[in-house]
Structure 1
Amino acid sequence: MKYRVLLTLLVYILGSWGLFAQRKTSPSYTSEQAVADTTLRVDSAAQDSIALADSTRRTGLEAPVEYKANDSIVMTAGNMAYLYGEGDVKYQQIQLQAENIEMNMDSSLVYAKFGLDSIGDEFGYPLFIDGNDQYESKTMRYNFKTKKGYITDVITQQGEGYVTAGRTKKTETDALNMVGGRYTTCDEHEHPHFYIQMTKAKVRPKKNIVTGPVYLVIEDVPLYPLGLPFCFFPFSSTYSSGILMPTFGDESARGFYLRDGGYYFALSDYMDLALTGEIYTKGSWGLSAKSNYRKRYKYSGSFMASYLVSKYGDKGLPDYSKSKDFKITWTHSQDSKANPYRSFSASVNFSTSSYDRNQMMGLYNANATSNTKSSSVNITQRFPNNPLSISANMSINQTSRDSSISVTLPDVSLTLSRIYPFKRKHAVGKERWYEKISMSYTGYLRNSINTKENLLFKSNLVKDWRNAMQHKIPVSATFTLFKYLNISPSFNYTENWYTHKVEQAYDIQKGAMAPVDTTYGFYRTYEYDASVSASTTLYGFFKPLPFFGGKKIEMIRHRFEPSISLSARPDFGNSKYGFWEDYVYTNAQGEDVHVQYSPFANQIFSPPSSGKSGSINFSLNNNLEMKVRSDKDSTGFKKISLIDKLSLGMSYNMAADSFKWSDLSVGLRLKLSKNYTLNLNGTFDTYTYGYNEQTGRAYKVDVPRWQAGKGIGRLRQTGTSFSYTFNNDTFKKWFGGGDDSKKKGEGDASTDATNADNPDLNGPEDGEKKGSRLLGKKKEDGEYDSDGYYMAKVPWSLSFNYSMSLGYSSEFDPKKMEYKYALTHALSFNGNIQPTKNWSFNFNATYDFDTHKVSYMTCNITRNMHCFQMTASFIPIGPYKSYTFSIAVSSSLLKDLKYNQSSSYREGQQWY
């Protein structure tokens, strides 16, 4: 409990007893205890409450001054108070903490300084707190009445950096006038690794710093040439506009440059805009605009537009080239809470093919080597209490290799979700069979073009763009027969609308069919098919004999899911439909050749296929599990998956004239561990082959392999892929070891318990400001064992991604009458390691099995030098062989204080 000590009471006590001094030692000695001790020898007049109330007016202060000390308080007849041991003085929102404090009760002056321990080390530096502002120093004089002060060796944090000065004056407006000040982002305050030496400076806390002449000092070496006549450091905590300083560097192909300089506009609380530019000494230049926007619970996104003019070589010489590129990126996402019935999203990444190659910043990311880019914008509208929804989409796909582009605009779809048109609204009794019939509808309207980038805006909307509309209506139902058999009939109807058709004829020069005439108008095609399927589920159980593991294995279960379906469709290539045309021409040998083609081929929606179909489809799904007794619990069991899924599928086309059997498809899924699943998919060829010695080509023979005595099928194609990551904990999991996280958690719990028994270790009480200390020795970070030894850790990881594909090659073996196999591999790997706390290294690479060497690799090295960051990136092999080196200040405020050096990949690469 704290009592207010007033100057009137002190004058009365000290005037009655003359010179008085008393010092008392206690764990926590406050101003209230000092008053109680001094009044032991006085009468009750010292307790006059009126005198206490009048003391603030006599000193000219607006509020009482509260103070305390942990060691002792000494007061003298000269109206001086001395606080020893973590002294703390409070006046309104002002607070002063120090090991030693002297107070003049008449003039409202306070002097604070540090203390010395038994070996002469300094501690308890004065800390001045004024609201949210804090200053720490070695000595400080302050006047509570005038709010002025004189400080030596002050240090204060402003923004991301620290300001220190040998001599400082604090004005009544809270400004700090400094002589010989320093500004740095290094937290080694007494001996920073680098700093900006300020001859004179004025600091307006939380606002800015204005200086006189300044120069840079690195490791105590002054760099006078790197000086400025004045400097301005803004520390605005509010959202505001400002200048973006450019980055200086050089590039061998385009010369010296200034890049990313411009102006930042704080447009509103929801949107900003940054206009930047770049210029090179050899004539290249560029402009860009970037904007971010966000509205809580509504939407968020970003937009960027860039224009770049690149010039290489000398004008008038053969190696001179000039290119104009642009890029537009836009991302937009809508909050799910914004509108439950309407959604809008965008992901646009559109640029010219050579933009990423000419834009230097794209060298060390995926854009520099990416061959394809895609963009899309989508809006979807749903209707409450209605199964209808409308979706509109725009998509762009680019291929940088040949500058081709594919645009679809618009792409509108109208969807009616599944409905039961015959279901009764107020059903009574059992469900009728016709109530199970369901249907849905999907309509598509598309307009697209495939062309080159330079021809896109020159294309004709009618002649060059392809447009069509499609309608799909599926009807289905599911019935249960004999309780266990599921019967599912279905009917599908598809109709296409076209705006043109293309007539073809035989071209003698090309030796093939070629378009000869395009007719524009409204054309309609349609197709339909019907199918019925039957499926069920069967279970089989097997109990192994005791001497075959039956004591531990409780049961093995096999789940078998067979299904069969029959589908049929007519021949829409028949002339009565008019979807296909018959054409007869005479070849070079004078023979008549019959060709059938569709005038609606090569459009957005394919025309109905020719040839009737009547197929029987077979599929088998298998699952095998084992139930075993648990080792931990004699009464418990656990399931082990032996075969998670084994599927087989095949079909037989009764309407085909030949090759009625399809390939056999097989899928296998195995759960090898809790976190890893192996998937294998393969296709088996069901027919035999013949060989024409004259042409040297193989051909398929309409003889199934089982009829030729070659089994059911031969593997045509299969493949799989897997990945794995090795790290510090991998071998502990394999061979056992302690759980570091568990041990760490247990240690934290014991620490918390200890602190609970010692409340003094838990920090200050509520409402008591302690402030953060900047001066003094730094605490060493890191983990230590129980013996006090540093626990050095080397985090590392190494990841592999391997894929394999096995299938028929182009080579045929006439002796075996079989195609030879070709094996295709792909291996990529990446890793990172941190050998020390400040060093880190990472890389990623791809291995080419055809050339038996690493085809591409990127490496990055980072060194954290406390307040500096050093990075080196290099590509040691391949066409992009190059490097870049940078050393810069870690703080984002001084991000332009850096040195860059790089090579150009263009020195060893030619673009065509």
Structure 2
Amino acid sequence: MHRKVIYIVFNLILIPGALSKVSAQEFPHVNKRLNIESKNDTLTKNLIPNTTLDTVKPVKNDSVKPKQGQKLEAPMFRTAKDYEKLDQKNKKVTLYNQAVFKYQDYELTAGIIIYDYEKEEVYAGRIKDSLGNLTQHPVFKQGTQIVEPDSIRFNTKTKKAIVWNTRTKYQDFNVKAAKTKKVNDSVYFMKDVIFTTAEDIENPEYYFRTSNAKFVPNKKIVTGVTNLVIEDVPTPIGLPFAFFPLSQGSVSGFIIPSFGDTNLRGYYLQNGGYYFAFNDMVDLTLLGDVYQNGSNAFNAQSQYRKRYKYSGNLNLRYETLIDGERGFDNYQKAKIYNIQWSHSQDAKANPTSRFSASVNLGSSNYFRNSLNTQNIGSNMNNTLSSSISYSKTIQSVPQVNYTISANHQQNTNTQQITMSLPNVQASVDRVFPFAPKNGSKKGFIQNINLQYNLRGENRIQTTDSLFFKPEMFNEMNAGIQHSIPLATNFKVLKYLSVTMTGNYNETWVLNTFDKFYSNETGQVETVRNNGFDSYRTYNFSTNVGTTIYGTFNFNKNSKIQAIRHVMRPAVSYSYTPSFDQYYDTYAIDALGTTMQEYSRFQGTLFGEPNKTMSNMVGLSLGNNFEAKVRDDESTTGEPKKVMLLNSLNFNTSYNFTADSLKLAPIGMSANTNLLKDKLRLNFGASLDPLALDNSGRRIDKFNIANGGSLLRLTSANITVNYSLASTDPLFGGSPKREDEVDQNVQNGGRGDDLFGQSVDLADRQKSMFDDKKREKPKTSFYNTDIPWDLTLAWSLTYNNASRNSEISNNSLMVSGNVTLAPGWLAGFSTGYDFKNKGVTYTQLRFERDLKSWRMDFSWIPNGYYKQWNFFIGIKSSILQDIKYEKRNAAERRFRNR
């Protein structure tokens, strides 16, 4: 029963006064009380009084004003479809057929509502339709809470009530009781009660049955002997008593762990702990794992949100892995950890400053060896990265922007870690000193502009084993780089756009390196010198480009009416002088006769200045092609545009000051979308006009003059991504919505299913196919009612740099999901490596929607991650501990890579 039925009782005291205005008479005061202990429900027998036509008055919707001396806190509203009857002889007021009574924040509707102002009793119940069926159950609403009984009887003076066959929903619980007795504001007793999270309370697929229950609104439900019933069949699962905590908000409480066993580490308890609901803005979940052989794990998760300000989540995990038995040769112990933090600021919070964080760092082998992670996409990712930044805009003239950040890059294969903190970047907005005060800028002089940029960084390079240890700071490099670009742009010959840029850089560093030959060690030694040093460089570049359009028209009756070709040729020139004043020499042998050149800035934060003068011309050509195609479905007769080739780019360069090999290879790249943007094609190649000698080295001789072709293909790569779904317009559906970023992406994995779908072992209520919900396809030339999707990715890489002519990579990945039948979902992810001739990572997924329950099974049949997982449990988070799960996890020993 709803926890606020008391308010019906309280407010219906006011009905007599409200109705006195309608009858234009005063009701006599009677001092009688309702016998609340009455056991017989006479409501449905005597609910419809005998009436005659002369006693029936037309229904009017009105707001009734209280008479003198009454105190109403809000307007009162009542109405009925058929009639409103005042019976002064029996001291009753009757509202019949779709009766409605509203006051303050609640509403009472029923087939019939009767108020006995002599006994101060209110009745609400059902009425019979033309077929004799009882309809229009009483419904009481207040906020989001709803109570739907068969009938209600209560006393407005004592505020006690009896409700028959009440139906109510509290959070995820649907509750139905044959009889409910309200004792006071905070205690209700119920008889013959069922509890369920099923949506249909009349025909639930499962429920908990008890003969007696005590209900304390907003706090708890306490029952006697409770039995689990599935499909109306009692099960042997029962409890001598049951306790269900209730709350409008989040409630702190224990989390029951899952139980299982492994061959390698024995029995385990996993994901058990405690949930802290501090308030509506922040929570904390503490979880732990314990294994029989001594392995253990600790996990802390927290989510926080402040409306219109910020939101984020934090996830910390620490694991101790033990393999083998203590005292034996195969014994091994290791510790791994992972830290994830995501923070985003609402755009409305502050228009001039912003703070954001995306952190994912930890042990390089964490995702490969974790005891509690089913995230294959993260396992196959080779990099971890993090970024924390604060940016600020100073609204001045010119405008100033600065950013303070910390960054982290980690290669999980080499275990190399690069951290830079703090990083400072600042810039002063462009200034046009010669621009007119009014009007647009024209010409070479007026478009001259300059800017100031500053970049400061403190970089640490270390390894996984030294991370967070004092040794990681020994090789720290710091420096600041100032940059002042001076640029202008103008038109030449009306169609040529010219851009000219000169750049001045000044670099400050806090350490340099000296090299010398040591007679003691008999080799070249490098000494680090801590102290301030600096160098200055400058360069110049210019670019001339234009855009050429060409349209090829076809017959108006043809399917393709026109093809448009856009070319963007450009010629660039750049000059960088030699800064050999920053170079010295050192001996590489004991005699000191052989010297080698070096710069003391080599190995510093921003590297050494350029020693070789560069005088280079670059050539580039960009192309795209689109067509106008007749649209037979258009009502206006206008053709539609179709992109044939998004881009086709060529580029090369020639260095006049190079000693040899002045001409660089020609780079080519192209990409396009085909089949209504379902197929994405990317292509790249390198074409070298120079020849190779017998040892496979480039020489200053054209390949065609050496008996070869005009251009020599040195490398090429192609990637093809193809996705189809039943929701595509091609198959009569609507476009698929964008997938939300999930844990797989946050961990650094892929957003698609090509590397499988992740499984959150700590929250099995979430469906594996939550992001695959689709609308049913509409009728088209191909019609199906079976939702499905398919994704393919093919990658090919060719190398021929030294006449080796080999395919270095050739692999195909494919994934798909399909609804086999209503409630049955299946999916797969697999691939094949044509280079190594083997099947790549494969995952099979099955899920069954059992309405209030869900069941899923995932299976990795081969490879290093070979395993299977089975789960069946209630979807609702309130009863998430009622479940059965079994896993045969991969028996992986700890490994360093």
TM-score normalised to the size of structure 1?
0.76
The answer for the alignment partner of 2:668 in structure 1 is 666
SS in 1 for 2:367: helix
The answer as to 2:492 corresponding to 1:500 is: no
- Residue by residue over 1:4-43, the C-alpha shift from the partner in whole angstroms, topping out at 9 and shown as x without a partner, is 77698999xxxxxxxxxxxxxxxxx999996843899xxx
Tell me, in whole angstroms, the C-alpha distance in 1 between the residues paired with 2:527 and 2:112.
101
Tell me, in whole angstroms, the C-alpha distance in 1 between the residues paired with 2:565 and 2:81.
81
Deviation at 1:193, TM superposition (A): 2.9
Deviation at 1:845, TM superposition (A): 2.7
State how many pairs are aligned.
807
How big is the alpha-carbon RMSD for the aligned residues of Structure 1 and Structure 2? 4.7
Tell me, in whole angstroms, the C-alpha distance in 1 between the residues paired with 2:777 and 2:510.
77
Tell me, in whole angstroms, the C-alpha distance in 1 between the residues paired with 2:94 and 2:546.
94
The answer for the alignment partner of 2:819 in structure 1 is 834
SS in 1 for 2:465: helix
SS in 1 for 2:699: strand
Tell me, in whole angstroms, the C-alpha distance in 2 between the residues paired with 1:215 and 1:304.
38
The answer for the alignment partner of 2:480 in structure 1 is 469
Aligned AA (2:715): Q
The answer as to 2:422 corresponding to 1:410 is: yes
CA contact (8 A) 2:513 2:603 kept: no
The answer as to 2:393 corresponding to 1:393 is: no
Tell me, in whole angstroms, the C-alpha distance in 2 between the residues paired with 1:555 and 1:345.
48
Tell me, in whole angstroms, the C-alpha distance in 2 between the residues paired with 1:88 and 1:424.
73
The answer for the alignment partner of 2:655 in structure 1 is 653
Tell me, in whole angstroms, the C-alpha distance in 2 between the residues paired with 1:54 and 1:271.
50
Match of 2:696 among 691, 695, 698: 698
Tell me, in whole angstroms, the C-alpha distance in 2 between the residues paired with 1:131 and 1:635.
53
Tell me, in whole angstroms, the C-alpha distance in 2 between the residues paired with 1:91 and 1:657.
93
The answer for the alignment partner of 2:344 in structure 1 is 333
Tell me, in whole angstroms, the C-alpha distance in 1 between the residues paired with 2:507 and 2:296.
50
CA contact (8 A) 1:6 1:56 kept: no
- Residue by residue over 1:799-846, the C-alpha shift from the partner in whole angstroms, topping out at 9 and shown as x without a partner, is 11222222316xx6xxxxx44242632322221111222111223233
The answer as to 2:687 corresponding to 1:684 is: yes
The answer as to 2:591 corresponding to 1:581 is: no
Alpha-carbon distance change, 908 to 833 in structure 1, aligned in 2, over 3 angstroms: farther
The answer for the alignment partner of 2:577 in structure 1 is 570
Deviation at 1:153, TM superposition (A): 3.0
Match of 1:436 among 443, 447, 460: 447
Tell me, in whole angstroms, the C-alpha distance in 1 between the residues paired with 2:183 and 2:87.
29
Match of 1:157 among 159, 169, 186: 169
The answer for the alignment partner of 2:465 in structure 1 is 454
The answer as to 2:835 corresponding to 1:850 is: yes
Identity %: 28
SS in 1 for 2:248: coil
CA contact (8 A) 1:74 1:83 kept: no
Tell me, in whole angstroms, the C-alpha distance in 2 between the residues paired with 1:482 and 1:64.
82
Deviation at 1:795, TM superposition (A): 0.6
- Residue by residue over 1:719-756, the C-alpha shift from the partner in whole angstroms, topping out at 9 and shown as x without a partner, is 232322222255x73xxx8x5779xxxxxxxxxxxxxx
CA contact (8 A) 1:415 1:442 kept: yes
Tell me, in whole angstroms, the C-alpha distance in 2 between the residues paired with 1:517 and 1:784.
70
The answer for the alignment partner of 1:746 in structure 2 is none
The answer for the alignment partner of 1:891 in structure 2 is 876
Aligned AA (1:570): P
Tell me, in whole angstroms, the C-alpha distance in 1 between the residues paired with 2:812 and 2:519.
48
The answer for the alignment partner of 1:242 in structure 2 is 252
SS in 2 for 1:712: coil
TM-score normalised to the size of structure 2?
0.78
- Residue by residue over 1:614-664, the C-alpha shift from the partner in whole angstroms, topping out at 9 and shown as x without a partner, is 222223344556668877799966666665544332222222222121111
SS in 2 for 1:316: coil
Aligned AA (2:313): S
The answer for the alignment partner of 2:611 in structure 1 is 610
Aligned AA (1:565): S
Tell me, in whole angstroms, the C-alpha distance in 2 between the residues paired with 1:553 and 1:120.
68
CA contact (8 A) 1:133 1:205 kept: no
CA contact (8 A) 2:444 2:488 kept: no
SS in 2 for 1:454: helix
Tell me, in whole angstroms, the C-alpha distance in 2 between the residues paired with 1:906 and 1:244.
30
Match of 1:722 among 720, 723, 729: 720
Aligned AA (2:533): Y
The answer as to 2:535 corresponding to 1:525 is: yes
The answer for the alignment partner of 1:870 in structure 2 is 855
Tell me, in whole angstroms, the C-alpha distance in 2 between the residues paired with 1:398 and 1:516.
26
CA contact (8 A) 1:111 1:141 kept: yes
The answer as to 2:207 corresponding to 1:192 is: no
Alpha-carbon distance change, 279 to 610 in structure 1, aligned in 2, over 3 angstroms: same
Aligned AA (2:475): D
CA contact (8 A) 1:723 1:802 kept: yes
Tell me, in whole angstroms, the C-alpha distance in 1 between the residues paired with 2:622 and 2:669.
9
Deviation at 1:890, TM superposition (A): 1.4
- Residue by residue over 1:27-69, the C-alpha shift from the partner in whole angstroms, topping out at 9 and shown as x without a partner, is xx999996843899xxxxxxxxxxx999999xxxx99997857
Match of 2:389 among 378, 381, 387: 378
Aligned AA (2:260): D
Tell me, in whole angstroms, the C-alpha distance in 1 between the residues paired with 2:690 and 2:696.
13
Judge which range, 866-875 or 80-89, deviates more.
Answer: 80-89
Tell me, in whole angstroms, the C-alpha distance in 2 between the residues paired with 1:415 and 1:180.
73
Tell me, in whole angstroms, the C-alpha distance in 2 between the residues paired with 1:202 and 1:586.
95
Q: Higher relative contact order by CA 8 Å / sep ≥ 6: 1 or 2?
A: 2
The answer for the alignment partner of 2:55 in structure 1 is 37
Tell me, in whole angstroms, the C-alpha distance in 2 between the residues paired with 1:89 and 1:388.
63
Deviation at 1:133, TM superposition (A): 5.3
Alpha-carbon distance change, 123 to 304 in structure 1, aligned in 2, over 3 angstroms: same
- Residue by residue over 1:662-692, the C-alpha shift from the partner in whole angstroms, topping out at 9 and shown as x without a partner, is 111233455656636644332111211121x
Tell me, in whole angstroms, the C-alpha distance in 1 between the residues paired with 2:26 and 2:135.
33
Judge which range, 697-706 or 312-321, deviates more.
Answer: 312-321
Aligned AA (1:655): T
Tell me, in whole angstroms, the C-alpha distance in 1 between the residues paired with 2:186 and 2:649.
79
Aligned AA (2:650): L
- Name stretches of at least 5 consecutive residues in structure 1 with no aligned partner: 12-28, 41-51, 692-696, 743-781, 813-817
CA contact (8 A) 1:670 1:678 kept: yes
The answer for the alignment partner of 2:354 in structure 1 is 343
The answer for the alignment partner of 2:864 in structure 1 is 879
Deviation at 1:448, TM superposition (A): 1.7
- Name stretches of at least 5 consecutive residues in structure 2 with no aligned partner: 1-17, 29-46, 59-64, 736-774
CA contact (8 A) 1:585 1:592 kept: yes
Deviation at 1:330, TM superposition (A): 1.6
Deviation at 1:206, TM superposition (A): 4.3
The answer for the alignment partner of 2:747 in structure 1 is none
The answer for the alignment partner of 1:745 in structure 2 is none
Tell me, in whole angstroms, the C-alpha distance in 2 between the residues paired with 1:313 and 1:142.
70
The answer as to 2:789 corresponding to 1:797 is: yes
Tell me, in whole angstroms, the C-alpha distance in 2 between the residues paired with 1:116 and 1:424.
86
Q: After superposition, where does 1:310-321 map in structure 2 within 5 Å? A: 310-321=321-332
CA contact (8 A) 1:6 1:55 kept: no
Tell me, in whole angstroms, the C-alpha distance in 2 between the residues paired with 1:891 and 1:371.
36
Tell me, in whole angstroms, the C-alpha distance in 2 between the residues paired with 1:488 and 1:100.
84
The answer for the alignment partner of 1:307 in structure 2 is 318
Aligned AA (2:605): I
Alpha-carbon distance change, 483 to 288 in structure 1, aligned in 2, over 3 angstroms: same
Deviation at 1:887, TM superposition (A): 1.0
Deviation at 1:593, TM superposition (A): 6.4
Alpha-carbon distance change, 30 to 71 in structure 1, aligned in 2, over 3 angstroms: farther
Alpha-carbon distance change, 461 to 405 in structure 1, aligned in 2, over 3 angstroms: closer
Tell me, in whole angstroms, the C-alpha distance in 1 between the residues paired with 2:170 and 2:637.
67
